[in-house]
Each structure stands twice: as structure tokens, then as C-alpha cells.
């Protein structure tokens, strides 16, 4: 349970980090919080020969409020979880953060790192997908934004190039008065959930104006439940409508089974959690109004 | 094999050592600083036995490389007791029979230290949630929960203070002027000292 040897760099600027990534290519791994990378290295499931530790880069741990909540690559999950700005503008993110690992993990783990690691069972990937957020990356040729829908490619794989560094994650704040809910089922508190669902609902004149649903644990990437979203928009909220949305989710998923849960079980839980999340989101819409 | 010079503070004392970049902070604390109170259970961030405070925050020392802790202020289980006097959290664990084999205890104690600093009046549910990242294989968790509640209670009635991160840093600076010795960390030296004692 000891990592293989590696060369270690602790750049002091984003430019320096990108330069190192360009120099070492796929041999290099970026180390931020290390709460996913280091276990993989300890178990020798990952053996990068170069580690680019970005923790010494100043000024990357920010949370900037605005229509887009901008979170710097070194903002710890625990910092974001406790941030009043995150709670006020993006409570779905706050609620999901509370279920990421344990306090000790969140004290080190970063929001950006969780997104870049792209584990489809991780809460934050689905939050970004549900809200239609994006990431900012810096490469040798400059910066670019990548939408969540283009970012997550498959298990632990993103469209980030090997010479690019994720510098910021952008979560669009839901419209004022919107309701939200994060629901998940895990065997033990703090474990990766078997299935998780993030939902946001906004109403106008008694009908659903906006619905956003994304799930973890049911595919190789976080899964946006677009069939269910389309079905909801323009309708008046009701128990029957939530059931229909759950059924749409059920019909759209083809998860893999594993030692923890069969495909049938995951699909069933996804549908049930979708109903529950929509119900809770509606309660919050009504509390807000 | 590239060795790195690493200087850090543990329990108000400066330690210096050389380590490979791949050496985890937990191994550095145990092997190079000879502070073996920090335990390693799973070495992949699940069991919590290696929990220490780094700059005042509870972290898993098996998921950090020693080189990352260059310049950091650490607190380990050895930094809890005041000489012969157990820290109130240790006392509460002792009195509540919150340990059996004791392997997981250092991690629980350090987790509790950080937790009670942030939440001095926890509910039972909050205690359970705070301890969820630490595994114990002997006692069951009931007595551990009881001990943390007792420690919080003792904090209220006796007014002991869990040092804040800033206070920890102040203490270190104060300690700095008193004790400028720098321990050259290394197992060989520790072994030598132990032999001498015998």
C-alpha cells in the first residue's frame, strides 16, 4: 500500500503548472486535494511518474458569487460547503457537498478535483450536469470554457487535454425562487452513493418553467434526465407528474450492475429518488414564495 | 531516488528529515519523526486511524505526501496530554470505556478535537456524523459517542479549551522562543536514544 516512485513538482503559478503538464504529457497527474488520486496511487492502480502539485499556487481557492458561482480549482470542499455564498446562491451544491466523503476528506478534497476526476458516482459531477455548468481550463494556447455536457466523456475520463489544467468550476445559480433537492442512497454514511439525484424546479404562474435533473451511479458519466425534464416543463406540479417523471427516468437508464447493486435495483432507486427529489424541490419552491 | 529535505512542526516542535517524494505524511510522522501514535489502518483514506490536525484541520495523513506538508503545523495524538495529565477528550474516552484494543483511538481523538472546536455543543446525531469517517473494529461505537458527549460536557463545565488553529500557531511561536532546539528526525537516532535509556 505504498505509491510507486514519482518525480514531484510544486509550481507557483498556473502558467508554470501548464508548462510542466505540456512537458510531461500523459505521464503527469495533477495533485489538488489528493483524496481520490492518492488512494489510487497507494493501491498502485495509478502510477504517474510525475506529480504536479498545484497546492502551492496562490489565488486559486476563491469563491466568487455572481450569476455564475465561480469556484477556483483549489477551493476545498469543506470551504465551499460552509460558504454563505454557496448556501445562498447554490443550495443544491451545498447539500450535495455535505454528502461527499467525510469531514476529513472534505478538508482536503477540492470541488475542482472532484469534477476533474469525473467519477460518475461523485455528487459534484451530477450537480454540475444538472445546473448546466462549465469548467474553465488553461492550456499552453490559452484558456477555454468546457460545458459540463462536453466535459464528462466516460468513467474517470474528461475532455481535458493532458496539457490543460482545470482552473475554475462555474455553477449557474438557479432562478430566484427555485426549489432544489439532493437525494441519495448509500450503504454507509460517507460512502459513494449507489444512486444520487439532484433536482431543481422553478415555477411560473403555477406551472413548471424549468426542471433540471441529473443522476449519479447510473452510467459512465453523470446522467442528465432530459426526457423527464421535457415532460415536466409546462405542467402543473402533482404527485402523478412526479410518478411520470420517475417512469421516464426508469425508461431512459441502462446502468451497469456491480457487486453493490444490480442494474434493476439502480434503475428502480433512480426512479424512486427522482420522485422524492421533485417532491422536496416543490416544497422548497412553496417555502420560498 | 530523489530525497527531499522536509521541515515541519509537530506538537509545537520542529522536525527536519529527508524523504522520498512518494513517502506519505503518515509514514514520515511515524518513521522519520518517531511519533508512532498516529496509526495506519487502510492506507487509502477509509478507516480514519491516521487522522491528524494539519494547520488546525482534521486530515487523513495517509492521503498526503510528506513533501506537501513542508512548513505545516501538525498536531498528533502525542500532542494531546499535558505531561502526565490526559487531555479531557482522552480522559472521557478512558472513563467511558471508549476503546478496547486502542488501534483506532488516535484517529478518533484527533477527529473529536477538531470537531468539538467547531461544534462545542453537539447533538447526538452530529457526534455520530462527525465520527462516521473513523472505523473501530472492537468496541462498537456506542461508548465512543458517549465519550465525545462527555468530553463536550467537560468542556462546558470545566471550561477547557480546544486550541483554535490560530492559537495553535501562537503557541508554536511562543514555544519557538523557549525551545529553539531542532530535532533532527530519524529512526536511527530514536533507536539510539531508546538503547541509551535501557
Give the start-to-end residue ranges of the domains of chain A.
7-56, 63-172, 179-288
For the domain A179-288, what is the CATH code?
3.30.390.50
Distances (CA, A) of A225 to A124, A194, A252, B183: 16, 17, 8, 59
CB B134 within 8 A of CB B47: yes
Q: What is the grid cell recorded at B185?
A: 528526525
Between CA A96 and CA A7 the distance in angstroms is 35
User: Is CATH 3.40.190.10 what the domain over A7-56 is classified as, yes or no?
Assistant: no
Residue A256 exposure: Cα atoms within 13 Å on the Cβ side: 8
Between CA B100 and CA B138 the distance in angstroms is 6
| B90 close contact with A: CB closer than 8 A | no
Q: Choose among B109, B127, B107: nearest CA to B119.
A: B127
CATH class of A63-172: alpha beta
For B55: left if phi > 0, alpha if psi spans -120 to 50, otherwise beta; the answer is left
Q: To 5 degrees, how large is the angle CA B69–CA B71–CA B72?
A: 55
Q: Choose among A110, A141, A136: nearest CA to A31.
A: A110
Using a CB-CB cut-off of 8 Å, the residues of chain A touching B108 are: none
Distances (CA, A) of B186 to A14, A122, A167, A267, B38: 35, 40, 39, 55, 16
Rounded to the nearest 5 percent, the helix, strand and coil shares of chain B are 45, 15, 40
| B2 close contact with A: CB closer than 8 A | yes
CB A149 within 8 A of CB A224: yes
How far away is chain A from the Cα of B28, in angstroms, using its nearest Cα? 12
Between CA A53 and CA A64 the distance in angstroms is 23
Structural domains for chain B: 3-79+164-197 (3.10.20.30), 88-158 (1.10.150.120)
Q: What is the grid cell recorded at A8?
A: 514531484
Question: Smallest Cβ distance to A55: which of B59, B68, B132?
Answer: B68
CB A101 within 8 A of CB A109: yes
What pTM, to 2 d.p., does this model score? 0.91
CB A141 within 8 A of CB A157: no
CB B1 within 8 A of CB A5: yes
Q: Is the dihedral of CA B16, B18, B24, B28 positive or negative?
A: negative
Using a CB-CB cut-off of 8 Å, the residues of chain B touching A39 are: 44-45, 63
Q: Do A188 and B65 touch (CB under 8 A)?
A: no
Q: Choose among A115, A74, A117: nearest CA to A93.
A: A115
**pLDDT score recorded for residue B162:** 56
Using a CB-CB cut-off of 8 Å, the residues of chain B touching A43 are: 44
| B62 close contact with A: CB closer than 8 A | yes
Using a CB-CB cut-off of 8 Å, the residues of chain A touching B122 are: none
CB B93 within 8 A of CB B144: yes
Q: A137: helix, coil or strand?
A: strand
Which residue ranges of chain A lie beneath pLDDT 70? none
Between CA A87 and CA A95 the distance in angstroms is 8
| B60 close contact with A: CB closer than 8 A | yes
Residues counted in chain B: 198
Rounded to the nearest 5 percent, the helix, strand and coil shares of chain A are 40, 25, 35
Which residue ranges of chain B lie beneath pLDDT 70? 1, 159-198
Amino acid at each position: 500500500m505504498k505509491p510507486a516512485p514519482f518525480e514531484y513538482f510544486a509550481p507557483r503559478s498556473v502558467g508554470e503548472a501548464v508548462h510542466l503538464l505540456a512537458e510531461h504529457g500523459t505521464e503527469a497527474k495533477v495533485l489538488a486535494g489528493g483524496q481520490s488520486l492518492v488512494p489510487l496511487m497507494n493501491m498502485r492502480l495509478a502510477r504517474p511518474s510525475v506529480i504536479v502539485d498545484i497546492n502551492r499556487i496562490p489565488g486559486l481557492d476563491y469563491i466568487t458569487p455572481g450569476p455564475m458561482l465561480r469556484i477556483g480549482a483549489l477551493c476545498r470542499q469543506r470551504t465551499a460547503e460552509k460558504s454563505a455564498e454557496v448556501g445562498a446562491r447554490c443550495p443544491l451544491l451545498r447539500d450535495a457537498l455535505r454528502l461527499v466523503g467525510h469531514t476529513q476528506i472534505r478538508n482536503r478534497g477540492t470541488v475542482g478535483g472532484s469534477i476533474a476526476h469525473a467519477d460518475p458516482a461523485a455528487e459534484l459531477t451530477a450537480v454540475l450536469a444538472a445546473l448546466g455548468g462549465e469548467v474553465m481550463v488553461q492550456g499552453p494556447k490559452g484558456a477555454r470554457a468546457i460545458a459540463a455536457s462536453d466535459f464528462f466523456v466516460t468513467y474517470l475520463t474528461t475532455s481535458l487535454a493532458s496539457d490543460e489544467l482545470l482552473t475554475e468550476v462555474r455553477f449557474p445559480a438557479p432562478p430566484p425562487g427555485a426549489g432544489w433537492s439532493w437525494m441519495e442512497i448509500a450503504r454507509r454514511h460517507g460512502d459513494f452513493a449507489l444512486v444520487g439525484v439532484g433536482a431543481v424546479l422553478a415555477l411560473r404562474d403555477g406551472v413548471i418553467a424549468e426542471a433540471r435533473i441529473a443522476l449519479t451511479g447510473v452510467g459512465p458519466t453523470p446522467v442528465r434526465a432530459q426526457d423527464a425534464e421535457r415532460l415536466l416543463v409546462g405542467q402543473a406540479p402533482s404527485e402523478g407528474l412526479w410518478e411520470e417523471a420517475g417512469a421516464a427516468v426508469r425508461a431512459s437508464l441502462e446502468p451497469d450492475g456491480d457487486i453493490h447493486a444490480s442494474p434493476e435495483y439502480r434503475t428502480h432507486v433512480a426512479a424512486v429518488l427522482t420522485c422524492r427529489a421533485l417532491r422536496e424541490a416543490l416544497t422548497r419552491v412553496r417555502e420560498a414564495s | 531516488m530523489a530525497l527531499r529535505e522536509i521541515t515541519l512542526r509537530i506538537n509545537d516542535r520542529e522536525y527536519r528529515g529527508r524523504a522520498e517524494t512518494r513517502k506519505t505524511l503518515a509514514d514520515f510522522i511515524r518513521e522519520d519523526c518517531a511519533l508512532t501514535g498516529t496509526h495506519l489502518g487502510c492506507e487509502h483514506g477509509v478507516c480514519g486511524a491516521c487522522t491528524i490536525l494539519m494547520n488546525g484541520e482534521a486530515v487523513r495523513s495517509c492521503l498526503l505526501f510528506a513533501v506537501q506538508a513542508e512548513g505545516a503545523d501538525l498536531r498528533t495524538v502525542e500532542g494531546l496530554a499535558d505531561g502526565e495529565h490526559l487531555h479531557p477528550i482522552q480522559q472521557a474516552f478512558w472513563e467511558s470505556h471508549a476503546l478496547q484494543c486502542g488501534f483506532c483511538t488516535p484517529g478518533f481523538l484527533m477527529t473529536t478535537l477538531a470537531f468539538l472546536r467547531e461544534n462545542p455543543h453537539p447533538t447526538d446525531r452530529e457526534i455520530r456524523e462527525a465520527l462516521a469517517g473513523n472505523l473501530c473494529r472492537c468496541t462498537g461505537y456506542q461508548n465512543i459517542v458517549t465519550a465525545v458527549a462527555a468530553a463536550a460536557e467537560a468542556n462546558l463545565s470545566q471550561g477547557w479549551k480546544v486550541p483554535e488553529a490560530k492559537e495553535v500557531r501562537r503557541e508554536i511561536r511562543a514555544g519557538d522562543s523557549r525551545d529553539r532546539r531542532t530535532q533532527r528526525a530519524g529512526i536511527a537516532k530514536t533507536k539510539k536514544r531508546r538503547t541509551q535509556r535501557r
